[in-house]
């Protein structure tokens, strides 16, 4: 008979035994909710490798004939519910293979066949790509020009990109954020927050890219149509009563819904700080009250990942938006750009200075978004750029001659604020831009800016009357950035000082990660879409 479920606490061995006894010899499960909670949340106090060791030892105990079938069914359930755990954790997979071999040695091959670890597909975390929901409506030709793009379609695609990035976040990403209080060694969560910030900065740059006030007003009007629902959502964003309005509306939603992740992260940290992991000083009794509360928050996020938006996304537009959003400028840089477009009017000398305003207190969401400064991987950016260039040629090379003419280039500039002049991309000066020339341009701009598209060096030849050093080779050559004419293409110094990302240069080893948050069931693996957002 299965032991009663503990309410407040229990030892790790007791919890493991309850999970084993939840199965009968035929594989029927008596309490899937508790088993699922334990399998998702156990890394909080027990590594997956250590859990597999416990299962192996229990299969060798004196009463092993009675519990071996149940252990096999538990492992089978574990593999089916959390397959990424076994693909991305080699040490865990090896222990499970040891368990299967041990069963074979004992002559229980029928039971060992339940543990089919070899059939687990590849779930390398950089390859997680959400599956688009097929639409029964007729597919329409979509313009990639910002000025022509329907506001609703733009809103849909921005939502799709954010959802796609959200689906990559796994249990360990949340766990790491809670334990560190920031995104150190957490590239997946950092990338999601970066995307959140990038949309705001992209809008600002799109506005500032227009030279005249009427043109800038038209861009603002276009984005207001994209965000026409935002006004109705403002009440939900208030932090009063612990975001009670947002929580109530979110709970009432059916179908696709998207959370304010900052609120969920706040809840996870609040539970973690308020409740200890263990209920006794010896750290032998797991605090199940805390486990249940954390599981409730994480399970809600998992359900969002399993319910995709009904959007028929255009991959060409997604490729274009991905590179357009992959840029970073500080608030000071954007402010200086705004002053260039609309300089402040000088005040009369006898005018009364306006009273200084108290600094605005950052909201939870503002503080969360400001906590991360983007940093991208060169390989990922290279693939983004190549896909984007392919999409540009597919849609803007109107005569299909494999080149971009001056007229076609002017259309493209509408989507890339501060794109250099035609001659800067036409490196061989033949009056047209090839695919290779465009890729080379974006890659060079990206490398100059630490993989962030945006400002690049504009060089002007000068003759100096006093000794000056080249900023690339340190040889003699005065002003901000100086270099020899022969060195300018290799210069890696940025025009402006940039804030560094708080994440480390090297992502954490895959072997050290735990992937107990189940992979969304709408996820497919595609070699072609490796390393997308």
- Tell me the two tokens of residue 357: 């305003």
pTM of the model: 0.69
Give, for 218, the enclosing helix (H) or strand (E): helix 213-226
* pLDDT at 74 (0 to 100): 93
Report the range of poorest mean pLDDT among 198-207, 210-219, 415-424.
415-424
Judge whether 18 and 2 are in contact, CB under 8 Å.
yes
Angle between helices 213-226 and 151-166 (to 10 degrees): 60
Helices (H), 306-434: 315-325, 331-341, 364-370, 378-396, 406-412, 422-425
Q: Which residues, 6+ apart, have CB-to-CB distance to 199 below 8 Å? A: 158, 325
Dump pLDDT digits (tens) for 233-251: 677 777 778 888 888 888 8
* CA gyration radius, the chain: 28
User: How far, in whole angstroms, is CA 364 from its chain's centroid?
Assistant: 19
Token couple for 282 = 């010896």
Of the candidate ranges 13-17, 262-266, 386-390, 492-496, the one whose mean pLDDT is the lowest:
492-496
Condensed to tens digits (0 to 9), the pLDDT of residues 433-450 reads 999 998 888 887 766 544
Mean pLDDT of 412-427: 76
Fold of 9-126: Son of sevenless (SoS) protein; Chain S, domain 1 (1.20.870)
Dump pLDDT digits (tens) for 335-355.
888 888 888 776 566 666 555
pLDDT tens-digit series, residues 130-182: 333 333 334 444 456 676 778 888 888 889 999 989 988 888 889 999 988 88
Strand runs labelled E in 364-496: 403-404, 433-434
What is residue 276's DSSP assignment? -
Least confident of 81-95, 100-114, 205-219, 296-310: 100-114
- Say what the pLDDT of residue 525 is: 34
Average pLDDT, the chain: 75
Long-range contacts, stretch 441-450, CB < 8 angstroms, 24+ apart: 442/323, 442/385, 442/388, 442/389, 443/381, 443/382, 443/385, 444/489, 446/378, 446/381, 446/385, 447/378, 447/492, 448/491, 448/492, 448/494, 449/327, 449/328, 449/494, 449/498, 450/375, 450/376, 450/494, 450/498
Cβ neighbours of 497 (radius 10 Å): 9
Query: Which has the higher per-residue pLDDT, 38 or 27?
Result: 38
CATH number, domain 378-448, options 1.10.3720.10, 1.10.238.10, 3.20.20.70, 3.10.580.10: 1.10.238.10
Least confident of 102-116, 400-414, 444-458: 444-458
Residue 23 has pLDDT above 90, yes or no: yes
Please give the helix or strand (H or E) that residue 94 lies within, else none.
helix 90-105
pLDDT band at 270 (very low <50, low <70, confident <90, very high): very high
Task: Give whole-number Cα distances, 119 to 52, 86, 129, 527, in Å.
Answer: 18, 10, 20, 18
Q: CATH number of the domain at 146-341, please?
A: 1.10.840.10
The pLDDT of residue 297 is 95
pLDDT of 274 above 70? yes
Residues 79-101, mean pLDDT to the nearest whole number: 87
Backbone angles phi, psi at 472, to 5 degrees: -100, -55
Looking at 6-10, 370-374, 438-442, 474-478, which range is the least confident one? Answer: 474-478
Domain boundaries of the chain, sorted by first residue: 9-126, 146-341, 378-448, 459-494
């Amino acid at each position: 008979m299965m032991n009663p479920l503990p309410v407040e606490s229990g030892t790790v061995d007791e919890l493991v035994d309850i999970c084993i006894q939840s199965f009968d010899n035929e594989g029927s499960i008596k309490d899937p909710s508790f088993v699922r909670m334990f399998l998702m949340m156990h890394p909080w106090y027990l590594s997956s490798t250590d859990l597999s060791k416990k299962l192996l030892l229990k299969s060798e105990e004196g009463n092993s004939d009675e519990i071996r079938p149940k252990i096999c069914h538990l492992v089978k359930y574990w593999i089916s519910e959390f397959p990424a755990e076994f693909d991305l954790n080699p040490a865990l997979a090896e222990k499970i293979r040891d368990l299967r071999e041990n069963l074979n040695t004992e002559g229980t091959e029928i039971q060992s066949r339940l543990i089919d670890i070899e059939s687990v597909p590849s779930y390398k975390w950089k390859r997680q790509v959400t599956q688009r929901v097929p639409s029964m409506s007729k597919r329409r030709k979509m313009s990639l020009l910002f000025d022509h793009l329907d506001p609703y379609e733009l809103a849909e695609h921005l939502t799709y990109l954010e959802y796609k990035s959200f689906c990559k976040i796994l249990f360990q990403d949340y766990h790491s954020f809670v334990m560190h209080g920031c995104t150190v060694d957490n590239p997946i969560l950092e990338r999601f927050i970066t995307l959140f910030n990038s949309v705001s900065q992209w809008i600002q740059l799109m506005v500032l890219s227009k030279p005249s006030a009427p043109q800038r007003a038209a861009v603002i009007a276009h984005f207001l149509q994209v965000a026409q629902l935002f006004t109705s959502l403002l009440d939900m964003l208030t932090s009063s009563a612990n975001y009670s309005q947002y929580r109530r509306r979110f709970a009432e939603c059916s179908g696709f819904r998207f959370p304010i992740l900052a609120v969920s992260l706040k809840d996870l940290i609040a539970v973690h700080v308020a409740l200890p992991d263990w209920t006794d000083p010896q750290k032998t009794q797991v605090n199940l009250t805390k486990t249940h509360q954390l599981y409730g928050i994480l399970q809600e996020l998992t359900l969002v990942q399993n319910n995709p938006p009904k959007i028929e996304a255009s991959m060409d537009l997604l490729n274009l938006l991905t590179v357009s959003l992959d840029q970073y400028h500080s608030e000071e840089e954007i402010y200086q750009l705004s002053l260039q477009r609309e300089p402040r009017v000088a005040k009369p000398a006898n005018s009364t200075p306006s009273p200084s305003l108290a600094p605005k207190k950052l909201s939870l969401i503002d503080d969360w978004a400001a906590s991360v400064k983007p940093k991208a991987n060169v390989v990922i950016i290279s693939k983004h750029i190549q896909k984007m260039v392919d999409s540009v040629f597919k849609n803007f090379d109107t005569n299909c001659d494999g080149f971009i003419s001056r007229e076609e280039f002017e259309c493209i500039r509408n989507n890339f604020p501060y794109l250099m002049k035609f001659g800067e991309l036409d490196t061989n000066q033949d009056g047209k831009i090839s695919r290779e020339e465009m890729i080379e341009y974006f890659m060079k701009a990206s490398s100059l800016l630490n993989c962030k598209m945006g400002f690049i060096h504009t060089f002007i030849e000068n003759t100096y009357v006093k000794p000056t050093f080249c900023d690339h080779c340190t040889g003699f050559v005065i002003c901000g950035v100086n270099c020899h004419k022969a060195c300018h293409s290799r210069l890696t110094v940025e025009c402006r000082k940039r804030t560094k990302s708080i994440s480390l240069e090297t992502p954490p080893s895959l072997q050290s990660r735990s992937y107990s948050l189940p992979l969304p069931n709408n996820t497919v693996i595609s070699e072609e879409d490796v390393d997308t957002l």
